[in-house]
Amino acid sequence: MTTPIHVMSEIGKLKTVLLKRPGKEVENLTPEIMERLLFDDIPHLPVIQKEHDAFAQALIDRGVEVLYLEKLTAEAIDAGECKEKFVDRMLDESNLETDGVKEGLKKYLLSFDTQEMVDRIMAGIRKKDVTIESHHLADVSSEEVYPFYMDPMPNLYFTRDPAASIGNGLTINHMAFEARNRESLFIEAIMKYHPRFANQHVEIWRDRNHTARIEGGDELVLNDKVLAIGISQRTSAKAIEQLTLELFERNSNFEKVLAIKIPNVRAMMHLDTVFTMVDYDKFTIHPGIQKNGGEVDTYILEKGEEAGTVKMTHRSDLQEILREALNVPKLTLIPCGGGDAIAAPREQWNDGSNTLAIAPGVVVTYDRNYVSNELLRSHGVEVIEIASSELSRGRGGPRCMSMPLIREDLPKH
């Protein structure tokens, strides 16, 4: 297996994963801006870093190769000799007030070595750190109250979302909210210029130059034939249809897409906040997405008779849809918090359903979700717990914090 991206399932043994160590961006938050930047609280930097390092170590201990977004980005920019081009692209999407400010920031950013520059862009650029030399009033008189020229990107440690590995390729995502949209510029640069990925036959199924939104937290690779994609706050039905057509037309190995509709609320922003695969025939699920009798609106997309068309079937018996799609005799949905009226929403809020499978039946979860964790164990799942006091403040769990690049194929049966 030599392709730099190879993900044919949610559960195959994890070989290589992309993480981002939380940096100053998570500390560059204030109560005024945190909601817009999609945080519910302000993490304590040394502790969130310690927790994140322990997460990475837990993966390394299981033989996983851990790569870091911030490091790959700097390497890619150096390899592509495109520091200036990268900065221009970033500044163009940073809502700068005037050209003078843009020029000043460009000069400032280019004065650092590449890694330092990338780290600063990620952390956000404060007005007080840059002197704009200009004789235009508009360049120098910007409103002082707002502290940033470039907003911090505190959600970067959720590497799952700006891009998603699918088969031997990926989607590079146009994100739902402006607060996160620049995040996919890093992975775009990596795929374009990093020697490990550039010109290595990585399929870009969808790039970020689209208007329809899609995020990796909604994109699940159930096996080498079937994807599940959430229709959610972050991913539109239109984007799912476009991606499905692209996968069919370009002769990928995928034959079926299950578009699963989940409520448009913050607590359930992505499909993986309410539903993750833990074994060949087991999923976690938040009962909050199921209607009476366990129903969930699902649209099954398959190749249409004519080229360029998709055949759509609507069903709502999710458990049976999954059982059929995965071709297993029995399928178990393990309810978050055991389905208890308090434990289920409490643990789901802290990503109790958001497990990262590192092999069939082996998952990484947050320690705080002890009801869900015990229940997983009682279903024969091995649960590796990680500390989560600070990591959980960004409303994402182990699956959100990881972008698998290579998983071993599952044995054919």
Active-site positions?
400
Q: Which stretch binds ligand ARG (CB under 6 A): 264-272, 324-332, 363-371, 404-412?
A: 264-272
Measured from the CB of residue 128, what is the shortest distance to ligand ARG in angstroms? 26
Q: Out of 162, 352, 396, 398, which residue is the one contacting ligand ARG (CB under 6 A)?
A: 396
Q: Out of 6, 160, 182, 213, which residue is the one contacting ligand ARG (CB under 6 A)?
A: 160
> Looking at beta carbons only, is 117 or 185 nearer to ligand ARG?
185
169: left (phi over 0), alpha (psi -120 to 50) or beta: beta
Q: Which stretch binds ligand ARG (CB under 6 A): 70-78, 85-93, 223-231, 388-396?
A: 388-396
Determine if 395 is a binding residue for ligand ARG (CB under 6 A). yes
Determine if 275 is a binding residue for ligand ARG (CB under 6 A). no
Measured from the CB of residue 217, what is the shortest distance to ligand ARG in angstroms? 2
Residues 203-222 that bind ligand ARG (CB under 6 A): 217
Determine if 286 is a binding residue for ligand ARG (CB under 6 A). no
The closest alpha carbon to 6, from 221, 219, 251, 162, belongs to 221
Determine if 22 is a binding residue for ligand ARG (CB under 6 A). no
| Three-state secondary structure of the chain | CCCCCEECCCCCCEEEEEECCCCHHHCCCCHHHHCCCCCCCCCCHHHHHHHHHHHHHHHHHCCCEEEEHHHHHHHHHHHHCCHHHHHHHHHHCCCCCCHHHHHHHHHHHHCCCHHHHHHHHHHCEEHHHCCCCCCCHHHHCCCCCCCEEECCCHHHHCCCCCEEEEECEEEECCCCCHHHHCCHHHHHHHHHHCCCCCCCCCEEEECCCCCCCCCHHHEEECCCCEEEEEECCCCCHHHHHHHHHHHHHCCCCCCEEEEEECCCCHHHCCHHHCEEEEECCEEEECHHHCEHHHECCEEEEEECCCCCCEEEEEECCHHHHHHHHHCCCCCEEEEHHHHCCCHHHHHHHCCCCCCEEEECCEEEEECCCHHHHHHHHHCCCEEEEECCCCHHHHCCCCCCCCEEEEECCCCCC
Determine if 272 is a binding residue for ligand ARG (CB under 6 A). yes
| Through-space distance between the first and last CA atoms of the chain, rounded to whole angstroms | 20
Q: Which two tokens stand for residue 378?
A: 């009682």
Determine if 394 is a binding residue for ligand ARG (CB under 6 A). yes
Q: Out of 5, 7, 38, 132, which residue is the one contacting ligand ARG (CB under 6 A)?
A: 38
Residue in this structure with the two tokens 């329809």, named with its chain if needed: 212
Q: Out of 6, 52, 206, 270, which residue is the one contacting ligand ARG (CB under 6 A)?
A: 270
C-alpha to C-alpha distance for 319 and 154, rounded to whole angstroms: 36
> Looking at beta carbons only, is 34 or 198 nearer to ligand ARG?
34
How many chain residues touch ligand ARG (CB under 6 A)?
15
Determine if 366 is a binding residue for ligand ARG (CB under 6 A). no
Q: Out of 187, 343, 384, 400, which residue is the one contacting ligand ARG (CB under 6 A)?
A: 400
Supply the angle between the helices 83-92 and 99-110 in degrees, to the nearest 10.
Answer: 140
Determine if 273 is a binding residue for ligand ARG (CB under 6 A). yes
> Looking at beta carbons only, is 38 or 77 nearer to ligand ARG?
38
Measured from the CB of residue 180, what is the shortest distance to ligand ARG in angstroms? 6
> Looking at beta carbons only, is 160 or 282 nearer to ligand ARG?
160
The closest alpha carbon to 124, from 21, 20, 24, belongs to 24
Site string for ligand ARG, 167-186 (x = CB under 6 A): -------------x------
Determine if 7 is a binding residue for ligand ARG (CB under 6 A). no
Q: Which stretch binds ligand ARG (CB under 6 A): 70-78, 135-143, 266-274, 367-375?
A: 266-274
> Looking at beta carbons only, is 44 or 196 nearer to ligand ARG?
44
Measured from the CB of residue 38, what is the shortest distance to ligand ARG in angstroms? 3
Measured from the CB of residue 216, what is the shortest distance to ligand ARG in angstroms? 6
Q: Which stretch binds ligand ARG (CB under 6 A): 252-260, 269-277, 340-348, 379-387?
A: 269-277
Please give the residue ranges that form the binding site for ligand ARG (CB under 6 A). Answer: 38, 155, 158, 160-161, 180, 217, 269-270, 272-273, 394-396, 400
